[in-house]
Chains A and B, each alone.
Chain A
């Protein structure tokens, strides 16, 4: 599953968020993702893609920023 798919599934499962509302321009805060839920989401990402996120990672604000960040990290991991 790609990043946005995983984010959609996670937000539907945890927060009951409508997958159609999870679009690149959407603010994560508006979707109900607070700092704690962001930690949980990052934890799921690490698990799913077998990557380790740096502890000083800048917190993304939108779904698009999060996807971009994840794609970059996964690419780095593979190279």
Chain B
């Protein structure tokens, strides 16, 4: 099979810290949490929980009013991230002709336009209205983000959305990667966006008893993956995008290459909806290494799924130990969700960005707030303080409810 190399030529996100990409990575390496206490005015009982928001994000300023008004917040975050990645890749927003007919978009979102639908229900059931704006249809649809991205950037190839809970954007990135590697697409815009602050969504997560508690003082430390005193995950909103480009095309136009995406593996535990199974994760990890043509000894870092739930963290470590064997103790692992939270359908994308930046900067971001390791999570080299070290290749894990697993492999590029 003809396999083309795939360069990562653009990275972009709506940062919960409010700054740019460099600022985002710097803060991750400083162990700085973006988690804050969220208090809403929802009826009948306000949401009150640790959460990661993007308070500085101004859709009208980022996208222009006409475009922003045609989108739900998940699409706004996605579009803004995609624009940032596109600009970072040094590509023009507009281009005449049909050169982009084989360029596409694969986007991840777990919830899509849930917030738009919820707004509709409020109008109907709380405000007693009988009718809804016709825009609700195009605001709410799950493929709204990728549709807008393809329209704005003139992408004539495939435009699709992937909804696989917490693995949504890792699967989107993996599928986009395959399209470029096979030669079907020259460039793919990929990533994900989500807004879990919908009242019905956040309440349901709360009822599942997996959300970390916290108030205004304790919220920043609420998410503690692998820690003996971990209490659960912290939901967050956000958008993150990557530009995957045919290597030769990137070289020919003199693009700046952040890193190389080299492998993608996916599997299903096929055992339980919410109880993860190490065997399924092991298959995804091994498939990814095989796909990348890498040996486990080539991997210097794993950005863990690490949500800080009681059940999930030890299973992930068990899977890593099974794959890395005796060398697991030297494998650097960190869970950046401790700082940027769990972005659900955007989690894989923001973590892919963290992983690519780690390889590019040869610098490992830590798991924040990990002072007392849970013995059940021992057996790997937990990074608790950022450190500089030679990094050749890295993996990013996404293990979703439903038992869907996705792993991405990246390689550093000599600068």
A interface with B by C-beta (< 8 Å)? 14-16, 32, 36, 39-40, 43, 46-47
Contact = CB atoms under 8 A, between A and B. Distances in A.
Nearest to A12: B65
B133 interface: yes
A32 B67 CA distance: 10
Per CB-CB distance, the 5 closest pairs between chain A and chain B, nearest first, are A16-B65, A39-B134, A15-B66, A14-B69, A32-B66
Contact of B133 (A15, A16, A32, A40): A40
A16 B66 contact: yes
B66 A40 contact: no
Contacts, number: 25
22 contacts: A14-B65, A14-B69, A15-B65, A15-B66, A15-B69, A16-B60, A16-B65, A16-B66, A32-B66, A36-B70, A36-B134, A36-B135, A36-B138, A39-B135, A40-B133, A40-B134, A40-B135, A43-B131, A43-B133, A43-B134, A46-B131, A47-B131
A74 B366 CA distance: 65
A14 B135 CA distance: 12
A36 B60 CA distance: 19
Contacts of B131: 43, 46-47
Contacts of B134: 36, 39-40, 43
Nearest to B70: A36
Interface residues of B, number: 11
A43 B70 CA distance: 15
A47 B60 CA distance: 25
Interface in B96-153: 131, 133-135, 138
Chain A contact residues, majority secondary structure = helix
In the complex, which of the residues B60, B65, B66, B135 has the most CB atoms of chain A within 10 Å of its own CB atom?
B66
Nearest to A17: B66
B75 to A, nearest CB: 14
Contacts of B135: 36, 39-40
B66 A14 contact: yes
A15 to B, nearest CB: 4
A36 B136 CA distance: 11
Contacts of B254: none
A24 to B, nearest CB: 22
Contacts of A36: 70, 134-135, 138
A36 B66 CA distance: 12
Contacts of B65: 14-16
Contacts of A15: 65-66, 69
Interface in B352-391: none
A39 B134 CA distance: 7
A74 to B, nearest CB: 18
Contacts of B55: none
B44 interface: no
A16 B66 CA distance: 7
A9 to B, nearest CB: 14
Contacts of B60: 16
A46 B132 CA distance: 12
Interface in B55-79: 60, 64-66, 69-70
Contacts of A16: 60, 64-66
A34 B324 CA distance: 56
A52 B137 CA distance: 20
A36 B141 CA distance: 15
Contacts of A32: 66
A36 B123 CA distance: 21
A14 B70 CA distance: 9
Nearest to A39: B134
A43 B129 CA distance: 13
A15 B138 CA distance: 17
Contacts of A14: 65-66, 69
Contacts of A47: 131
Nearest to A33: B66
A34 to B, nearest CB: 9
Contacts of A46: 131
A43 B135 CA distance: 10
